[in-house]
Chains A and B, each alone.
Chain A
Amino acid sequence: MRRLEHIGLLALPGLTFLAVIFALPLFMLLLKSFQIDGQFSLEEYRLFFTDEYNMSVLWRTLRVAALTTILALLIAYPTAIAMSRANGIWLSIFLVAMVLPMSVGVVVKAFAWSIIFRTRGVLNDILLSLGIVDTPIRMLFTETALIIGAANVFLPFMVLPIYAVLRQMDSRLPEAAASLGATPVFRFFNVTLPLSLPGVVAGCAFVFSLAVSMYVIPSLIVGERQQTLSMLTARSFLYLRNEALGATISSILLIIAISVVLGSSWLANRLGSRS
């Protein structure tokens, strides 16, 4: 059929759109961050990386993202195991608990966590009435609160990829290992865990890149006191009018995001070829 050779042209409108309105602007942003007055220069990066405050923000951003990913993984893995064994009404409950929060916006959830963590808020009321604490403790504006809130928002993106691989896994494999005398602990570390690693990698990459660049959650839970890279970017554009700094930080965020994508797909490929 002659048609089939031309069918590729159907992709052109969408591709042109994304090339012009997505890829080109990002490329220009990246290019601009390496230029001063049209000349190639690393000066903006040197300024950024030699500034102690900026470095503390960079480390905080990476630390919060890493801890959020770890917390999400610790909750998500057992949940995905339980989910992969669930059927009927229980499976529906798990699925609703994943899909509904994903459909509710980040603004709504971040706002809810700011109510929960408030000094005269929900969590302190509970702790006081149970007699666990005598006076309300400060939770809002702490890094712990931020990590808990962020893990909550990104949790479905960790559970679902792990659930998908566990569900596909042949359940006879661990049974076969058991019949050969493997202990439960040995079976977990040598059969189930290695087979589920592609899901773990996908989930971690997704949650980490979302957490590095989150903006709404930290602005509502920790506010201006503890800046992250995203908040610093937004500030430098919207309030400080320091666009050079903003462009540099955006490019750093972009480079982190691209490395996470490339790194995780490399890792997924290696895991895929091994098993």
Chain B
Amino acid sequence: MTGTDRLFLAISWAIGLCCVVFLMLPIVITVAASFTSSSVYTLPPPEWSLRWYRSLQERSGLWEAVTLSLNLAVVSTAISLVLGTLAAVAVARGRFRGREAIATFTVSPLMMPGLVVGVALLQFFREIGLRDAYWSLLLGHIVITLPFVMRTLLASMSAFDFSLVDAARTLGLSYPKAILEVLVPNLAPAYLTGGLFAFLASMDNYPISIFLTDARNKTLPIKMLQYLEEQPDPSLAAMSSGLILMAVIALVVGARTVGLNRMIQG
């Protein structure tokens, strides 16, 4: 290594470390701001306090929004895992043309602007006469979660040895049973990471949900933006910290079971 090489590398490291700080900044600021005793955002806070966490109980409609969001995230992720398993097995195992196209198509919602999908769904559901907000939201959230699940399942199934499934079948298991008892447990890491990212994407979605809600069915992100307009006190930082805690738990579970390196290989 020459001196110039070392200089290059040193600069890269300096920028890389700044990048780490930059990426963590909004998370750290939010958590720090949530423990303030003051009603404005000053850092460091004049005194540490839990008052904004206590005040969350008084926020009207917060609990309903949290349960609706959790419900949508769990149900849509579960449906996506089922649809995704079937489609990924077909792509990995089938002998027909257009398997590449199917793979691209099932991942493509990731590349489309969320807001445009929301607008399109709004008009489509109106056209076919679907008025129920919960069902509209659920269908929309399956479109959000399915590509996350497909991306990880497709990648892991292309490396999976399907002769294990065939062996299970010669031992007398039916095909669905062989998939459930041999393939799924073997691909547990892919199910976990795909499922986690799908769940988090559903919990966080705003641009699709905003077009599909009604006055009674508001998801958490929609409710948070509404609070922000009406009464932007540090209780919003407390809510955000709750969501950050959820992400930290997901990260720890993912890192423990599949490892950080595999989590980034969507």
Contact = CB atoms under 8 A, between A and B. Distances in A.
A and B part of one assembly: yes
Interface of A: 3-5, 7-11, 13-15, 17-18, 21-26, 28-29, 32, 75-76, 78-79, 81-83, 85, 92-101, 103-109, 111-113, 115-116, 118, 120-122, 125, 152, 155-156, 159-160, 164, 178, 183-185, 188, 206, 209, 212-213, 215-216, 219-220, 230, 233-234, 237-238, 243, 246-247, 250-251, 253-254, 257, 260-261
B134 to A, nearest CB: 15
Interface in B1-37: 2, 4-5, 8-9, 11-13, 15-20, 22-27, 29-30, 33
B167 to A, nearest CB: 13
B251 to A, nearest CB: 6
Given A11-B91, A14-B83, A237-B119, A152 B260 contact: no
A115 B33 contact: yes
A96 B251 CA distance: 8
A190 B190 CA distance: 37
Contacts of B263: 95, 99
Given A11-B90, A103-B250, A115-B30, A3 B22 contact: no
B177 interface: no
6 contacts: A26-B112, A28-B120, A155-B22, A155-B23, A159-B19, A250-B119
Contacts of A233: 115-116, 119
A104 B13 CA distance: 25
Interface string B32-66: 01000000111100000000000000000000000
Interface in B152-207: 175, 196-197, 200, 203-204, 206-207
A213 to B, nearest CB: 3
Given A82-B13, A103-B251, A230 B207 contact: yes
Given A104-B247, A115-B29, A215-B206, A28 B124 contact: yes
B120 A78 contact: no
B261 interface: yes
A78 B119 contact: no
Interface of B: 2, 4-5, 8-9, 11-13, 15-20, 22-27, 29-30, 33, 40-43, 83-84, 86-87, 89-91, 93-96, 99, 102, 105-106, 108-109, 111-117, 119-124, 127, 139-140, 142-143, 146, 150, 175, 196-197, 200, 203-204, 206-207, 210-211, 221, 224-225, 228, 236-237, 240, 243-244, 247-248, 250-251, 254, 260-261, 263-265
A33 to B, nearest CB: 11
A106 B87 contact: no
Contacts of A3: 175
Given A14-B86, A15-B106, A108-B243, A152 B95 contact: no
A148 B52 CA distance: 28
Contact of A106 (B33, B90, B95, B206): B206
Nearest to B239: A108
B111 A209 contact: yes
Query: Helix, strand, loop or mixed for chain A's interface?
Result: helix
Contacts of B94: 4, 7-8, 10-11
Contacts of A9: 90
A185 B86 CA distance: 50
B12 A18 contact: no
A17 B11 CA distance: 49
A206 B102 CA distance: 20
B263 to A, nearest CB: 6
Given A79-B16, A215-B206, A29 B119 contact: yes
Contact of B111 (A4, A83, A257): A257
A100 to B, nearest CB: 6
A4 B95 CA distance: 7
Contact of B15 (A78, A152, A238): A78
Contact of A257 (B29, B116, B123): B116
Task: Give me the 10 closest cross-chain CB pairs, A-B, nearest first.
Answer: A213-B113, A105-B204, A82-B16, A112-B26, A11-B90, A25-B124, A25-B120, A103-B247, A14-B87, A8-B94
B251 A99 contact: yes
A155 B113 CA distance: 18
A166 to B, nearest CB: 11
Nearest to A75: B19
B254 to A, nearest CB: 8
